[in-house]
Structure 1
């Protein structure tokens, strides 16, 4: 090695040292054959051997034999000018034990025949055996989405990853042969992993449907060829197969990384749902790119609406069926320019994309400010604010909620919370812990839409609440359906035993209200008692008067019927 080369190496070594210890990992310089020219960093902690012990040795010497192919593919990608980021690869420590490390690298900017490689501790999503489909090694659908989301958050904005969806045709030779099908999936997974980001970003999304996250340097032809080769290995006597492919460029620079990941997950879930419902897969796959773009745009619109405060609150009365007194008003959001349009679609989209926490906190703060205004600051006026089960499951949102509740001591007994749910809550215990914090601070909590979707009896067992709101689908037909009446009786009986009150929504007429009283439902909500409204004036004495509501002895009463 000449003096100038040593000087250059010394300069790069200084740079390596700075980055190696800052990141607590190991950086190495490789020649074109994969031999280590220079190494520095916390090698003993990460690899079980000192950095000097790596010098002059092939990097493959410390790599688990089962990952030599993945290493070769990563080095090949670097040699071709592609950056490799966070590939998970197994190393062998001197004691014979294996360990997983993250491998990143690229071609040396001034020496094209050298590679700069960083080894570190794996970060982000890390798949385990239970995240995989059988013995194939393929990630299951949820784990693949989590992996893709994690990688998307760390992707360079000027070099976006790509997602290719692969659908295999029906193969007669596999009909009824589960062993051969698993063998094909395993072989296909091994080949696609070698092309994927990090060497593990391949998942089975459904029967015969796969996803692979890769760099722009990996072509659709190479993926298609991998499919054909995998089938030829497992089914040597069968005719060559041609898979259907669709590639999605994950260029989502307009939103924060975590929201970009959610946009991808939402788009894939919608794609899977429509495919299950009989949509033409080829057309759906072609439509993926505009779907992702539309999702990103809609997320931006929701964020701008929330941060800009472009929404209003309407208030619908909930009446004590036994006394006629208005127990409280539910705060209902209406987005500006959409007064006559239900917000359900936007709220559901926010929940599905993980943005509902932002919306819930904005609505809560608006409601609190309103409750302290002259038109609502009265001990007899209580207001309920909706909180999504997703929000109560999100640590960041829960932290913000706790901060807000430290400022609402003046609103105890007047501020009520309704837990809404359009998606299943996975950790009911964690959500119940939050609910109990809310209740201990003097706020009632209601479980909304009970009996619909996921909000079933196991929710009532796991979540200790003050009130259960019976889903309106049972109330609307109660006058004509004995089954619905039986269901209402069962809920009321159970809730009575638990010390929980009940509310019926969609009460549209006096006959339904009277039936509910006979069934011992305590509260009612619906157009019979009043539509969602805005205060009609700035004077609290007149602001809440309507054709159905009026003041009597300091309390707001239902005056009709």
Structure 2
């Protein structure tokens, strides 16, 4: 009898759910490049994807069937010919500097593979040349919040250190940015391996792992800076453990957002005792007030226009919740925590339908939480309202928000399909702000994508940030979704977004939230 083979069979790597090999390789390619191109041996383009509109002024499909050298500056085409010969001979082209056929002759990196040999298809990637590392800076409040959420459920030793300056100093900082910069530098110098962030003027956070933060040392550094400017004050500090025993991941995330928001608005005095559990208890204690506000309709709506970038005509308005005597973030966060989201979303829906009824010709978008979208009970209640006012649904848009991620995608898809069947337009809100929005674009059929305002702001600063927005725009257009940019505050923002293929925009450049215009008013914003 043969002895058993002592070597166990090799186990194949587990597949990533919902991601096939083609999607995986495309994802890897776009991680390193802005544009992907496939050609035949004759250098005719057979496939193109990526940020062509941004870099070359036309969509990817406009280049399919044309020569590869159309992408490359005239003076670089001899070098391109040599590069393609190397690719055919060696089967691989390492990253090679070359210039694009744009007005600036932008320096780009070209690389490629010939997986089927010299007579097969050539696969090429084009991306900006690597830039030197950016100077270390403090994280903004949004990025810091995401990083803090990512540490939840990890090491129980992880903690959040908070640093708070007195109100009189915070007021001074708004008039003296130089002092603010010195304080930022002092915090960066003492942060060690932790992530430091500015959550508001004069209010800072520091994320630390196993090694605790030297809070007394950090406070002393900042007090020294202030003393040098004749401002002898005491800096307040505290530490918030990120351990979340007894809380679900969703509860922990909501409690953390609540704690960070309270600190940014009111400092360390606003933080609840007991860490994240205390923060959750604090927000739950507000449930009665929020429940009464919803049942008694003690809030209003303001409307902010979304306009065509080409001619500034108003396309539609977004309905924005404005509670009476309460902060909107507190109300929404409390509703999510204690299970009042569906009631709140239905009340807002009622008010928006009333606004559509009394404002013929106006289109309005309302926000619906991911919690509501995946609820069969909410869907049934929404169907009753929409069917009772079927003549209005063609002027209604629903924005799917990411404050709470959709977990039951089958139920959410059922709600989306119900809305689409009734002529309601669908939009993904804050695209790019979190990973969930990309998943929504892949799994849900939507009409519009709204680019998160932080990317709009950064796109005017660097080519790399513009390229990232361009990739988001092209990805959206590729799946049939048109694009809206939010937080457009300057003409430069508007010009950059229009150049990237964005169709609509929202922001203070056009108008702040307010009342709907009187029926018959010309809706064009110069």
With the shorter chain as reference, the TM-score category is 0.3 to 0.5
Q: Please report the TM-score for the alignment, with normalisation by the length of structure 1.
A: 0.45
Q: Please report the TM-score for the alignment, with normalisation by the length of structure 2.
A: 0.48
* Larger RCO, structure (CA 8 Å, separation 6 or more): 2
